[in-house]
Amino acid sequence: MKRLIAISMVLLLALSLAACQRETPAPAPQETAPAPQATPVPAAGLTPGTYQGTATGRNGMVVVDVTFDENGITAISVAEHEESSIISDPAFERVPANIMEYQSLQMDTVTGATITQYAIISAVADCVAEAGGDPAEWRQRAGQHKQAGADVEKTADVIVVGGGGAGLAAAVSAIDEGAKVILIEKTAALGGNTMLSGGVLNAAEPEWQKGHPADAGEAETLQMFMDMDANAFPEEYRATFKTLQGQLKEYLATDRSYLFDSPELHIINTYYYGARKGLDGTEIYGIFDLVQSMCLNALDTVNWLSEKGISWQPTVSQPVGAMWRRGHTPADYPKGQEYAVKLGRLILDSGNEYMLETAAKSLIIEDGKVIGVNATQADGTKVTLKAGKGVVLATGGFGSNTKMVQEYDNYWGDIPDNAKTTNASGSTGDGIAMGLEAGAGLVGMGYAQMMPTSDLKTGDLFTGLIPRFAANYIFINNEGRRFVDEVSPRDTLAIEAFKQPDGMFYMIADADIAEEAKWLTDPEVEVKNGRVHRADTLEELARLIDIDPAVLVEEMEKYNSYVDGAKDEDTGKTNFNLKVDTAPYYATPRAPAIHHTMGGLNIDTGTHVLSESGEIIPGLYAAGEVTGGFHAGNRLGGNAIADIFVNGKIAGGNAAKGA
């Protein structure tokens, strides 16, 4: 959820940050050289007063109030912003403080939060100009620049590389086994893509799901699986499929009033919606052992996370492309942030360590065994980390490395250089490169997922109104026509979206759907910031987005009739929930953006990294988006979080045991 905050950073910077960060873990100790002394600043002849500056950050406007006396800046306060908490907090913490201390707009990069950093600098530069100063001259002044410290060498039982969900789970799980752990994270904050995600974890928990009434159309989906021939599945999946059919037979004989689920349905969903053909004609589907391990361990992992302090919303979720309602969603913090905050804190509380702005560059390999990691800190300090028992690679995918996505692509065919991404900046494929150097095999690298419902302008995941249930998604193109069954796999939705005029579409919501979408964003904030259009009638909404009002009204009337009949003859949609009939009405502009890279290092169910010839590479484990084999050609919404926590937990446990 975006936030609108007013933080006074004058002198009380640290205090006010503590207040707004709630329980953000304290930064890990950093070995850095002392900052150079500020150079004297020329007399400025500024006009004293407080000025307001604005600039565009990652999620929206960043507004700062800057107070000057004749000689320089005496106070900076951030009046408003909507940047993602945790990930952007280091920028809000450091940038105003550095500007004040050095009276300069120059400073080191805040790794992973540079867009926010530049927005703050640019907004302050506006104020400098307003006060009669020269922003260009302020940008030239000697600013904060850290210098590399003395080389650092440390030893632990387990070294975890990457501080997203998989890395955090691996660290905490290794600590459970009594291991001494050091986790390193390339950016200035823990969390990675996990924190930017909705945090929804797919796990079949039939007893809990039974408490939810069935939605229109769900029984038809189950009937579809019931009617399938087991021989349509690869041999290794057939026994599971037959077990599922036995369960379905029983359920379909009931009044079908409650939500059915089973780990077997989860396995079959993952296989069925992930099996795809590449551009080169090869077919791909999830490796049975891996898919089975993920789905059978998912509920235990939810329970393990509960023990670690994660709390869950009582309602089951079905994010876009999840294809079934089995999502567990964290309750205490917005989106995936809860994992980063709570698991990060456990690492510190147990006396272990994470090092931020510390990027692994290579693995240390001795006699074919991985025994450590060479890393570099943001200030250039060299770090050597030796692992007594194992190294876990949890560096995430390569979705923010467009060139790499293009090079491996075997599905889309035409990914433009300026393709937008939902990814955090750290997702550049580092772990894959390091794994390759150690002789690792790769699997499924040609398949990157496009998130169909990304922000049209920025690629961000969660701007606008995003319902909790895919059944409440209603897409129209910019001619006002629906064009797809919105409860489709993500690749289908993206493919159909690309075919629409201008490659974009709108998500339509009424007041009830907007209420339901509050699990992620606040409609008032989204409307205020121009990311959502709102009107009291459908006709007015159509005019706002330049669509023929008669067409939009006709489409929504048709849609409402489909909800009544639980069948949409136009697109084949069968899964429905709310109608579009209560003012006000909303339209959120959307387009696909690169989201999840489904291929990666080849691992076994113990998360050992396998060589090209399928042998275990001693000492090396991997978990999360850096690995491949689970999701094949199309990942289910909610399965990434299942994958990273199930496998992060296994990786940490096995690495700690040297197993």
Under rule CB under 6 A, residue 186 binds ligand ADP: yes
Under rule CB under 6 A, residue 299 binds ligand ADP: no
Exactly one of 28, 44, 184, 419 binds ligand ADP (CB under 6 A); which one? 184
- To ligand ADP, the closest distance from the beta carbon of 22 in angstroms equals 20
Q: Which residues neighbour 343 within 8 Å (Cβ) at sequence distance 6 or greater?
A: 168, 169, 171, 172, 308
Dihedral (Cα; 533, 536, 541, 544), 10-degree rounding: -70
Is residue 472 within 8 Å of residue 215, measured between CB atoms? no
| DSSP 8-class letter at 134 | -
Of the pair 426, 599, the CB lying nearest ligand ADP is at 426
Q: How many residues bind ligand ADP (CB under 6 A)?
A: 27
How far apart CA 107 and CA 110 sit, in angstroms, is: 9
Q: The dihedral of CA 311, 260, 201, 292: what is its sign?
A: positive
| DSSP 8-class letter at 61 | E
Of the pair 161, 517, the CB lying nearest ligand ADP is at 161
Under rule CB under 6 A, residue 435 binds ligand ADP: no
Exactly one of 53, 57, 60, 163 binds ligand ADP (CB under 6 A); which one? 163
- To ligand ADP, the closest distance from the beta carbon of 652 in angstroms equals 12
Point out which residues pair with 454 in neighbouring strands: 591
Residues in the chain: 659
- Beta strands 152-161; 49-56: pairing state: unpaired
Of the pair 113, 474, the CB lying nearest ligand ADP is at 113
Under rule CB under 6 A, residue 596 binds ligand ADP: no
Exactly one of 193, 270, 292, 521 binds ligand ADP (CB under 6 A); which one? 193
- To ligand ADP, the closest distance from the beta carbon of 303 in angstroms equals 20
The yes-or-no answer on residue 490 being catalytic is yes
Under rule CB under 6 A, residue 185 binds ligand ADP: yes
Of the pair 274, 396, the CB lying nearest ligand ADP is at 396
- Copy the structure tokens of residue 188: 């200035």
Of the pair 167, 263, the CB lying nearest ligand ADP is at 167
Catalytic residue among 276, 326, 468, 490: 490
Under rule CB under 6 A, residue 192 binds ligand ADP: yes
Under rule CB under 6 A, residue 87 binds ligand ADP: no
Report how far apart, in Å, the C-alpha atoms of 333 and of each of 2, 104, 304, 637, 645 are. 11, 35, 18, 20, 18
3-state secondary structure of 655: helix
Which of 431, 369, 375, 370 shows the shortest CA–CA distance to 398? 431
3-state secondary structure of 267: helix
Exactly one of 72, 133, 162, 390 binds ligand ADP (CB under 6 A); which one? 162
Under rule CB under 6 A, residue 166 binds ligand ADP: yes
| DSSP 8-class letter at 395 | -
Count CA atoms within 13 Å of residue 375 on its CB side. 30
Task: Please choose, out of 259-267, 435-443, 556-564, 621-629, the segment that lies near ligand ADP by the rule CB under 6 A.
Answer: 621-629
* Residue type, position 102, single letter: Y
Under rule CB under 6 A, residue 385 binds ligand ADP: no
* 3-state class percentages of the chain: helix first, strand second, coil last, to nearest 5: 35, 20, 45
Exactly one of 158, 359, 432, 656 binds ligand ADP (CB under 6 A); which one? 359
Is residue 58 within 8 Å of residue 460, measured between CB atoms? yes
Is residue 395 within 8 Å of residue 431, measured between CB atoms? yes
Under rule CB under 6 A, residue 619 binds ligand ADP: no
* Residue type, position 644, single letter: I
| DSSP 8-class letter at 35 | P
How far apart CA 67 and CA 49 sit, in angstroms, is: 6
Taking CB under 6 A as the rule, which mask of x and - marks residues 513-552 in contact with ligand ADP?
A: ----------------------------------------
Exactly one of 88, 104, 144, 194 binds ligand ADP (CB under 6 A); which one? 194
Under rule CB under 6 A, residue 625 binds ligand ADP: yes
Q: Which residues neighbour 530 within 8 Å (Cβ) at sequence distance 6 or greater?
A: none
Under rule CB under 6 A, residue 360 binds ligand ADP: yes
- To ligand ADP, the closest distance from the beta carbon of 172 in angstroms equals 13
Dihedral (Cα; 292, 294, 298, 300), 10-degree rounding: 80
- To ligand ADP, the closest distance from the beta carbon of 176 in angstroms equals 18
Taking CB under 6 A as the rule, which mask of x and - marks residues 462-491 in contact with ligand ADP?
A: ------------------------------
Under rule CB under 6 A, residue 395 binds ligand ADP: yes
Under rule CB under 6 A, residue 451 binds ligand ADP: no
Is residue 17 within 8 Å of residue 89, measured between CB atoms? yes
**Which are the catalytic amino acids?**
490
Residues that bind ligand ADP (CB under 6 A): 161-167, 184-187, 192-194, 359-360, 394-396, 424, 426-427, 430, 624-626, 644
